[in-house]
Amino acid sequence: MSIEVQTGSGRSPARRRGAVRRGGKRREREIVDAAAKIFHEQGYANTSVQDIADAVGILKGSLYYYIDSKQDLLFRVLSEVLDDALVIIEELQAMDVPPLLKLREYVRRHVEYNASNLTKISVYYHDFAMLSQERRATILGLRRSYEAFLCALIEEAQRRGEVDREHVPNLLANSIFGTVNWIYTWYRPDGRASPQEIGDLYGELVINGVRGARMPQARRASEARAGRRSHRPARAPAPPSTP
């Protein structure tokens, strides 16, 4: 049987260490949230480490106990967005439902998350280019895994005869991302619709779109190039040279 030695504070050393760790986690959370808010309001380039320290109420030097640089905070904000997206995908992969139902649920959750996290989503899209090349590559690698998830759902739906086989899966996937990712530019939490309502709307919109019979098909790249050449206007004659 272990015996905890009580200190003058009434708590054992183990309990005090646990309290310190929990306090550190809370402070770290405060710092990341404050950084996201200021990046959103001022832009990453216009934000200083001092701005973030002031927002949290600590000295600038104390902030470096939690980070090595301002970019650490930006990378943390963007990584959290992707981590949350990965949770959605993992939960959907465990569901035993047809692919289009998974696709609708993915869109619904994706939109609801974006609408509920406007600050982080705005920073994600506006300040991605401010990351180092190595960190951009990490983020892009994760992005590609999400695109592959959507393509796999579309391909499975095509095999089941639920989506036209002539449609190109990655074009449909990119069209879906293009539709749902820009909600942060117009959605307002104090508006008429809740994130849940917006998510439901977009889920139905996307599903009805990908299985629509009248959706135009993408031509092959070679056909598209040939079409552009055949419709290219004749080059205007060069102006006469000055005598």
| CATH code at position 17 | 1.10.10.60
3: in domain: no
Q: pLDDT tens-digit profile of 24-66?
A: 788 999 999 999 999 999 999 999 999 999 999 999 999 999 9
CATH number of the CATH domain containing 151:
1.10.357.10
Indicate if 125 and 173 belong to the same structural domain. Answer: yes
Angstrom distance (rounded) from CA 154 to CA 168: 9
Least confident interval from 8-22, 84-98, 100-114: 8-22
Q: How many domains does the chain have?
A: 2
| Residue 233 domain flag | no
How do residues 148-174 score in pLDDT, each as one tens digit?
999 999 999 999 999 999 999 999 999
- 74 and 107 share a domain? yes
Residues 83 and 144 in one domain: yes
- pLDDT value for 242: 33
**DSSP H helical segments within the chain, as ranges?**
13-42, 49-56, 60-63, 70-93, 99-116, 118-126, 133-159, 169-180, 195-210, 221-230
Q: Does one domain contain both 211 and 91?
A: yes
Give the per-residue pLDDT at 211: 85
Domain containing 56: what range? 13-67
Residue 125 lies in a domain: yes
Amino acid at 218: A
Q: Identity (one letter) of the amino acid at 31?
A: I
Is position 212 within any domain?
yes
Inside any domain, residue 232: no
One domain, residues 40 and 131: no
Would 93 be classed as within a structural domain?
yes
Each residue's pLDDT tens digit, 183-236: 999 999 999 999 999 999 999 999 999 987 555 555 544 444 444 444 444 443
Overall pTM surpassing 0.85 (yes/no):
no
Q: Is residue 187 domain-shared with residue 132, that is, in the same domain?
A: yes
CA distances to 34, 107, 134 from 53, in Å: 9, 37, 26
- Residues 98, 78, single domain; the answer is yes
